[in-house]
Amino acid sequence: MDRIDASLIALRRILRATDMFGRELAQSVDLTAPQFRVLQIIAGNESCTAKAISQQMRISQATVTSLVDKLVRKEMAVREKSLADRRQTNISVTAKGRRAITEAPDPLQQRFVRKFEAMEDWEQAGLIAALERVAAMLDAEDIDAAPVLDTGESLTTS
């Protein structure tokens, strides 16, 4: 097998792993990976704003609003006016949302994070450089992407 085939196979394995995780997540708790990540962020704080989620995920506030809308429709999150500042809307997780978090399969990105953190600093830097190079080779440097491993729907429509 030549290096081109080996690299394409590795890319395909990554895509398949993210796709399989997305399907598993959808079947188990009826959420996409971006929706699940937003739910995790909300649950990790007592409550938070769309702006705070947007900053943490490094995606637009409009995208976060769309994701939160879906969580609210699924009764996994609620929006409430802030008692401290009535202009601000806080988002909180519901009991149904907390159940989804505990029932969901181990998120792919958390598996990645555990293994990535176990690597030496020089290995991490090399891997980041290689992944950034692959993104550039695919003309994907300017694509809006959150730190969520998902190949399903785009973030704005999920």
Q: For position 144, what pLDDT does the model report?
A: 66
pLDDT, one tens digit per residue, over 21-65 is 888 888 889 999 889 999 999 999 877 899 999 998 888 899 999
The pTM assigned to this predicted structure is: 0.73
Q: What are the structural domain ranges in the chain?
A: 3-137
Angle at 16 between CA 39 and CA 76, to 5 degrees: 15
Runs of H (alpha helix) within the chain: 3-29, 33-44, 50-57, 61-73, 95-103, 108-117, 121-137
Q: Give pLDDT, residue 145.
A: 65
- The CATH architecture one would assign to domain 3-137 is Orthogonal Bundle (1.10)
Q: Rounded distance, CA 39 to CA 33, Å?
A: 10
Quick: pLDDT tens for 82-111.
777 778 899 999 999 999 999 888 778 778
